[in-house]
Structure 1
Amino acid sequence: MENEIMEKFLSINEQNCNPTIGKYSSKKETFYEDIEKWQEERNDKDHIIKPIQFTFEITNRCNCNCKDCGMSANSIKVGKTKLNDEELYKLVDDLYEQGVPAFAITGGEPFLEFENMCKMIRYSENKLDISKIISNGFWGKNVDLYFKKMEESGLLNNQFFVPSIQISIGEQTVPLEYVCNIINYVASHYAIEELNLGIVHTRLKGAKESQLSKLYNTYIEKFGEFPDGRIYLTDSYYVNSNMKAKEKIETYKMTVFDAINECDNRFSIEVGKFVSPKIFMKCNGDCYPCEVFNMHKDMFLGNYFDIGLPKILENLNNNKYVRFIRKYGTVGFREVITNKILEQNFCETSCYGCEFCIKFCEENNLIR
C-alpha cells in the first residue's frame, strides 16, 4: 500500500534536462541563458561560482517540538532568533547588487514571521525571485487567508523560478488535515507551471505506520480523490542530527565510500532535484555553501553581518573544499583517502560522508 501511495506523487529523482520540470523548476526553457545574462549585468563578474539561490533562516524558532529535529530549533533559547524587516530589505538589495537572483526561506518555522516574510517578497518584486519556502504547514488551518496574502505580496510574480512551497511531515505535531488543506488548495487553484508544492516526508526506522500513509488517508477522507502527479515527494529517514538529543535513534548506515558517491552537487548551475550553487545562512548570519544545518567548520564562509555579501562570495570561490568538489565531485575524495579508510567507516547520509572526508583531509593535510 505504501508503494501505491508514493506512486501518486511526483518523484524528485527522475532526471530531466528540461529546467521547467522538477521539484525546483524554471518558468522558461531558456533559464540558464537568462540567468547568465542577468548575472552579467550585476556587480559580481569575476567569480567562477555564482550562486543562483540564497537560502536563509528568517527565524530559528519553531512551534513544533520534533525530538530528532536536525536544526535543534526547539532548544534555541538565546542569541539572535529572527531577522527583522530592515535586515531583510538590506539582504534583498545586497543579493541584487551581487548577482544572486533568488532567495529561499527556511527556519525554524518561517510562517511564524509571516508578515515580515510577505514584506520581503513584496520588496523583492522585479529584483529577486522567491524560489522556495519550507514549512510545517500549521497555517493550513486558514489556508485561504495565507495564500491570498502571499499572492498579494507577489509570490507568483517571479522572473526565473517557479516558486516552490515545501511542507515537512514527520515528527511534527501539526494536524495532517492542515497539510491536506494546503495540498487541496494548491491543486485546485494553481497549475504546476505557476506553483510547485512538495511534501518532505521523514520516517523513523522501524515505525509501524508512516506519516505519509496517514496524510494520504486523511486527504481521501476529507477531499476524496488525491491529485495524482501534482505534488512532489521527498522521502527519507531521520538521522542523528540533533546535537542536543539525549539518546541516539536507530538508523540506516552506509560506508563513507558509498556515501560520497550519492551527492551529485558540483556547485554548477542546476535546477530540478535541487538548486545549485547556493549559499545557506543561519539566523545569526553564519554562511555555508550547502543547505546543511550542522555544517563542518572548514566550510564556514564567514558571517554576513560582519563581513558582508561580497566577502562571503569571495570566500565561497576561494574555499579549497568547494573548489575540490566542483572539480571532482565528492566522489573525488576516493582519490585522496584510501579505500580501506572509506570502507571501514560508516555514516548515515552523503552529507555526513562528505563531512568525514573533510575532517580527515584537514587532520592529515591532504588538500591544499
Structure 2
Amino acid sequence: MKTPQVFDRIRARWDRAGLAEASYRPLRIEFELTTKCNDACPSCGMGALSLQAGRSLTDQQLDYLLAEFSDVGLPSVAITGGEPFVAMRALLRFMTLARGTGVEVNKLTTNGIWGSKQRCGPTFDQLINAGLLDNTLFVPLLMLSIGEQTTPLEHVARIIHHTVTEFTDHDLNLAISSLADPSDREHKIYDLMRLYEAAYGDFPHDRIHSTMRVYLENDRLEDQAEINRPGRTSVAKWMDRCYDCFAPTVGSYVLPTALLKADGTLYACAAFNVPEKLGFGNLFREPLRDILARANRSAYVSAVRAGGGLKALHEVIPRAETEHMTCGSFCGSCSLLIDKFEQRTGQTLPAGSALPFVDTSSLWSRLPAAQGSRRG
C-alpha cells in the first residue's frame, strides 16, 4: 500500500459509484491485453497463442474498458497476456490513458522478453513516462514468470538487477512466479539465482516475492500433454487451506482479483485455471455493472465470501464426502465444489460466459454515450 487509508479511499470510490451495498467488488481486474506471445509454453496457464495467431485489444476496446472500469470505481488493474510487451504500443497507451483516472496499473506480468541489454533500460524509461510510478494507492508490481519459456534467463536477471538498483520497494515491487513440470518439480528459479549471482553478486531475496508452483492441467489448451502430477489431495484439505479469494485483502496479494479474457469474458477469480462457471458475463457485450450484479447474486460466491473460503461449503457438502473426493489443485477443488453446490442447493451460478463476442465497431459507437453517463 502507498497509504494507510487505502480502504477508506477505495470505499469512497465505491460509494460514489453506487456500489456501497455490494458484497463482491474486485479490488483489481487482471485483463489480457493480448493473446499473442513470443513463446510457446506447452502448459501455458493463459492459453496464449503465437504472434501470428493471437490478437491484441484495439484502441477502441481499451478506451471502452477504461470507461467501464472507472464507472464502477475500480481501484486497479493488472495487465497480462499472452505477453503484454509484444503489444508495447497498446500497453503504453492504456497506461497513459489510465493515469489520473483513479484506475491504477498495479501489476504487469511478463516473461522478460524486453530484458536484453539494448531494450531493458529504455523500456523502463517508457514505463515510467507512461505513469508506472504515479500510483497513489498501491505500489506497482512487476511479475516475472519463468518456467517452460525459452526467453533467456539473462533477460530476467537484467530486469531484476535494474529494478533493485534503480528503485526502492516503495517505488516498485518485484515478484517471480516459478512454474515447474509436476513430474520432476524442477524450477528454473535456481538457475536464475546462479546466473544472477555470477553476473551481479548476491541475489536480492529481500526484494522479491517468490511463488513456486507446478503446472496444472488447463482446460483452455486442447492439445496440452497430460499432466502427470504425483499424488492426490482430498478436496477437504484444499478447502481447509483456502483463503477467501472474494474478500478485500491488500498484502502479498491484492484480492478480490477478477480475470478479463481478451474475448470479453469476466471471471470472478483470476486463479491459474479458474473454473469456467465463475465467468459471469462478457464485458464487450454488457456493462461491467451488470456483470458484477450477476456475481453478487451468485449463491456460491456469497457462501464462500460469507464463510471465509471454500471451507464454508462444508455447511452444504459434508466433510465425510469431501474427504473422499480428490483433485490436484485449489482450482480443481473449486470446480468440483461448484457442481456439488449446485446439485445440493438447486441454485446454479448465473451464466454469463457463453455470451458471444462482438466486434469493436459496436463498442466505438457506444463509447461517447457511455462516457457521458458515468457516475462518480
TM over 0.5: yes
1: CA distance, partners of 2:125 / 2:199 = 22
Partner of 1:89: 63
Question: Are residue 205 (structure 1) and residue 182 (structure 2) matched?
Answer: yes
Match of 1:332 among 304, 309, 312: 312
1: CA distance, partners of 2:202 / 2:278 = 46
2: CA distance, partners of 1:226 / 1:75 = 33
Q: CA shift at 1:165, angstroms?
A: 0.8
2: CA distance, partners of 1:171 / 1:365 = 41
Q: Contact (CA 8 Å) 2:3, 2:136: kept in 1 or not?
A: no
2: CA distance, partners of 1:169 / 1:192 = 22
Q: Contact (CA 8 Å) 1:165, 1:196: kept in 2 or not?
A: yes
Partner of 2:134: 157
Give the 3-state SS of the residue equivalent to 2:323 in structure 1: helix
Give the 3-state SS of the residue equivalent to 1:140 in structure 2: coil
Give the 3-state SS of the residue equivalent to 1:202 in structure 2: strand
Question: Are residue 284 (structure 1) and residue 259 (structure 2) matched?
Answer: no
Supply the AA of the counterpart residue of 1:251: R
Partner of 1:23: none
Partner of 1:54: 29
Match of 2:280 among 301, 321, 327: 301
2: CA distance, partners of 1:364 / 1:67 = 37
Q: CA shift at 1:174, angstroms?
A: 0.6
Q: Contact (CA 8 Å) 1:68, 1:245: kept in 2 or not?
A: no
Give the 3-state SS of the residue equivalent to 2:149 in structure 1: coil
1: CA distance, partners of 2:185 / 2:250 = 35
Question: Are residue 251 (structure 1) and residue 226 (structure 2) matched?
Answer: no
2: CA distance, partners of 1:278 / 1:205 = 26
- Which is bigger in relative contact order (C-alpha 8 A, separation at least 6)? 1
Give the 3-state SS of the residue equivalent to 1:305 in structure 2: coil
Partner of 2:171: 194
Q: CA shift at 1:206, angstroms?
A: 4.5
Question: Are residue 105 (structure 1) and residue 79 (structure 2) matched?
Answer: yes
Supply the AA of the counterpart residue of 1:262: R
Q: Which ranges of structure 2 fall in alignment gaps of 5 or more residues?
A: 349-376
Supply the AA of the counterpart residue of 2:336: F
Q: Contact (CA 8 Å) 2:176, 2:209: kept in 1 or not?
A: yes
Q: CA shift at 1:266, angstroms?
A: 4.5
Q: CA shift at 1:75, angstroms?
A: 7.1
Question: Are residue 274 (structure 1) and residue 250 (structure 2) matched?
Answer: no
Taking every aligned residue pair, what percent have the same amino acid on both sides? Answer: 30
Supply the AA of the counterpart residue of 1:122: T
Q: CA shift at 1:314, angstroms?
A: 0.9
Supply the AA of the counterpart residue of 2:98: S
Partner of 1:19: none
Partner of 1:44: 19
2: CA distance, partners of 1:366 / 1:30 = 41
Partner of 2:322: 342
| CA displacement 1:33-70 (0-9 Å, x = unmatched) | 22212332334344232222111111112111111112
TM-score normalized by the length of structure 2: 0.85
Q: CA shift at 1:279, angstroms?
A: 2.1
Q: Contact (CA 8 Å) 1:299, 1:319: kept in 2 or not?
A: no
Question: Are residue 136 (structure 1) and residue 114 (structure 2) matched?
Answer: no
2: CA distance, partners of 1:263 / 1:85 = 38
1: CA distance, partners of 2:238 / 2:301 = 18
More deviation, 357-366/100-109? 357-366
Partner of 1:361: 341
Q: Which ranges of structure 1 fall in alignment gaps of 5 or more residues?
A: 1-25
Supply the AA of the counterpart residue of 1:218: L
Q: CA shift at 1:155, angstroms?
A: 0.6
Q: CA shift at 1:27, angstroms?
A: 0.6
Q: Contact (CA 8 Å) 1:105, 1:132: kept in 2 or not?
A: yes
Q: Contact (CA 8 Å) 2:275, 2:334: kept in 1 or not?
A: no
Number of residues of Structure 1 aligned to a counterpart in Structure 2? 342
Give the 3-state SS of the residue equivalent to 2:115 in structure 1: helix
| CA displacement 1:59-87 (0-9 Å, x = unmatched) | 11211111111222137987x83211221
Q: CA shift at 1:139, angstroms?
A: 0.7
Supply the AA of the counterpart residue of 1:104: A
> Given the superposition, is the C-alpha separation of residues 286 and 76 from structure 1 closer, same or farther in structure 2, using an over 3 Å criterion?
farther
